[in-house]
Amino acid sequence: MTQWVYGFGGGSADGDASMKNLLGGKGANLAEMSSLGLPVPPGFTITTEACVHYFSNGQSYPDALTAQVAAGLKKVEAVVGKTFGDASNPLLVSVRSGARASMPGMMDTVLNLGLNDQTVEGLAALSGDRRFAFDSYRRFITMYSSVVLGLSHDDFEEVLDDHKERLGVTIDTDLTARDWEKVVADYKAVVEDRLGQPFPQDPNDQLWGAVSAVFASWMNDRAKFYRRMHDIPESWGTAVNVQSMVFGNMGDTSATGVAFTRNPSTGEAKLYGEFLINAQGEDVVAGIRTPQSLTRAGREEMSESAPSMEEAMPVVFAEFVDVVGRLESHYRDMQDIEFTVEQGRLWMLQTRNGKRTARSALKIAVDLAAEGVISQEEAVSRVEPSALDQLLHPTLDPNATRTVVAAGLPASPGAATGKIVFDADEAERLNQLGDAVILVREETSPEDIHGMHAARGILTARGGMTSHAAVVARGMGRPCVCGINELSIDDKAGTFTARGRVFRAGEIITIDGSRGEVLDGSVAMIEPELTGDFQTLMAWADKVRRLRVRANAETPLDAKTARGFGAEGIGLCRTEHMFFDDARIAAVREMILADDEAGRRAALAKIAPFQKADFVELFTIMAGLPVTVRLLDPPLHEFIPHTDAEIDALAVTQGLDAAKLKRRAKELHETNPMLGHRGCRLGVAYPEIYEMQVRAILEAALEVKQTAAEAPIPEIMHPLVALGLEMKYLRELTDRTAEAVFAEADDRVDYLVGTMIELPRAALRAADLAEYAEFFSFGTNDLTQTTFGISRDDSGRFLQAYMDKGIFETDPFVRLDQEGVGDLIRIAAERGGAARPGIKMGICGEHGGDPASIAFCEEVGLDYVSCSPYRVPIARLAAAQAALHARAGTEREKDR
């Protein structure tokens, strides 16, 4: 028979810390602390498997669960010498959630369960404190009514506020036993008024109501959102912990608190936390009373007048310090601890590895390694790679006032303040004048690139996490909020409306790209500082990783930023972004309007010096490192205006034939440009375009070779190749052009020719391509689009519904689809490697900066990942962790 219930307490336990998947983090650690002989109130854990069963079977329990819970209660009763539901000697319990991954505050808790009109009298008699008993009863009614019965917490707060006002008091501890009796009576009246039936009096009914509510809270909105944020699978479920109550609200010798064995913000190795005398756990976090510091040093640092626990309860505090020291030593990590003192006796209610900032995580990991507690490799594995984002971008001061005026997707982290602008040219103009601006667009396009570069941050009403705005913003290190559905933009009026308020061009707003929020006015910032701990840990990470890490970069600023963050080359240089510069866009349009090849070559000759200069800058910055240059990819219509009015205006300013422009725009129009005349199809139809770019790349490489200590290593990449014959044609074009350049210069540089794998056919026929391609770069943005048949720029409209309904676990444009897209990558790697042993392979889509996707790249055996410059440190750390995980797997296989 399946065991659904595991007991703990009284110096022993059925489980231990290794059973987190089954017992949840809280249950596993309660069992572990019990086995260590620490003072833990006895109880039992209902497993996560019971939760999974509950949701898989129409919210019904396993048949054996009722009997196992009853047996668990009997064991608790035997340890504490009290009986659940007994009027004269009642056992009271807490009912708490506990998933295998810590989700603080996301699910529900009920305290003081078992109280009713009879047991409250028994509690009063046993404790000799009627005030305490009725204070506990009113807490239980409030919590149970809110969590289980679905009533508003505010209903009860209003009643309590009325009583306080009548009595002329401000804090709960000023109410007497008689006062609490009246409050309880009014609370029960609220329940009967709202529900049409009395507050539940049967302790068993109360218990099962609470267990069901805790299971149900696994699926509440905040828990779902938290799981999405932290990639916690819905399928895990939560455990439920039923534990004998201990009371911190039994007078001045009782207290409750929360402690961290090290500072969770800074990582400093000092006990950190707060407590309250004569209180229960929710009082510490509710803000009704001001918590007090645990230590005297903490009290003095905060200039508090109320005594610390160290001063108010010196004997218990000394015991507490010993216990928390044992816990950190046992778990070999910073612990987050909940505790209660009941009439001078210490009880431990929870321990878990504490949540911490990125800066704190780095310091704790490095310090523990320096102390000899963990190895350097363990230190590398302790820091969450995505948490490094906190260190790499400006962030808002957590103490600053925030007025949120709109919210969307947190597309690119960091924070920025600036004037609202609705036009890319205006953003550039104001930036040149020294103004900080926030670019607000319905959606962005490559033509907005200069405005995006000029802006401090970007907002778009449309688009998802891998939309153009999101991808480019992350590459630039600009904070960005996308998909703000509540944003209504009126470009003509120069306004946007959100939540009933109109904002005009020139007004100041702040954006928080890490939280996806738009804030009113200017908000104080904290600038990033990369500490010595950061450098130390990254050096340890670089020792163990196998995957190389490159950056997606096409501007000198991006390249310098990437190299500063430790990039080992450029994995994707998008040349189309270079074409939109004001100095060259006219020549690009001249090339598009040309009637024949001669006209196109004449226009391209004007663009070539600019292209060469671009590559000289990039190659100089990346001297000695590989630089993968993607030849022109987008369709030509993106380089000319779309409306008649815009075309007329352009014709006037640049002396062009408006009628010819309109005719050409019509000719270039495509119903589905993403699958149209773009990528290598441009190179086949207009080979002179790719010839010019190849020439510019190699001439730049030759020039830098003469001045730099090391020659650059250009890798020329042809996009959107599907056929072996396409690759053959493009390889011959590239090599023919290269030989002409080398002959003219009487010099050579090494270079590679390859392709971007972004079509399913290319992956399936990788052997055909590898006959001519020397490297594969998996463009997973487009490969995901073409595999799923989903436009990434429009997917935001429905992807959330898919995730809410469990069809997608995560956004496939954020986290690589390892089953579908991943299979295509595996196939391409195997077939390409067989056709050309040693072929270089990497990934350059947005997935190149996602830790889970990087782990997949390690598994498949790719050579490198390429990501936005500001994600390079994240990728370096994730690659190291992937290598450590792979090594551990290999060692386990050897041991079998």
- Do the beta carbons of residue 540 and residue 380 sit within 8 Å? yes
Nearest to 717 by CA among 677, 685, 768, 758: 758
**Tokens representing residue 150 in the block:** 């679905």
Nearest to 568 by CA among 771, 164, 306, 866: 866
244: β partners? 93
User: How far apart, in whole angstroms, are the C-alpha atoms of residue 48 and residue 88?
Assistant: 34
Half-sphere exposure of 670 (CA within 13 A, CB side): 13
Residue 844 annotated as catalytic: yes
Angle at CA of residue 388, ends 236 and 390, nearest 5°: 100
User: How far apart, in whole angstroms, are the C-alpha atoms of residue 606 and residue 626?
Assistant: 27
In sequence order, the 6+-apart residues with CB closer than 8 A to the CB of 269 are: 262, 367
In sequence order, the 6+-apart residues with CB closer than 8 A to the CB of 643 are: none
Angle at CA of residue 144, ends 143 and 147, nearest 5°: 80
Neighbours of 330 (CB within 10 A): 15
Beta-sheet pairing, 480-482 with 495-498: unpaired
**Tokens representing residue 246 in the block:** 């201990």
- Do the beta carbons of residue 105 and residue 80 sit within 8 Å? no
**Tokens representing residue 374 in the block:** 């963990």
**Tokens representing residue 662 in the block:** 């309109």
Active-site residue, selected from the candidate residues 53, 393, 468, 847:
468
Rg of the chain taking only CA atoms, in angstroms? 32
AA letter at 485? N
Q: Give 296-356 as a DSSP string.
A: HHHHHHTT--SPPHHHHSHHHHHHHHHHHHHHHHHHTS-EEEEEEEETTEEEEEEEEEPP-
Nearest to 856 by CA among 547, 562, 626: 547
Active-site residue, selected from the candidate residues 480, 844, 857, 867:
844
Name the DSSP letter for residue 228: H
Residue located via tokens 């209610």: 349
- Do the beta carbons of residue 754 and residue 776 sit within 8 Å? yes
Residue 867 annotated as catalytic: no
- Do the beta carbons of residue 727 and residue 755 sit within 8 Å? yes
Half-sphere exposure of 341 (CA within 13 A, CB side): 25
User: How far apart, in whole angstroms, are the C-alpha atoms of residue 88 and residue 14?
Assistant: 30
User: How far apart, in whole angstroms, are the C-alpha atoms of residue 469 and residue 271?
Assistant: 44
Burial of 531 (0-12, 13-18, 19+ CB in 10 A): middle
What residues are labeled active site? 468, 844
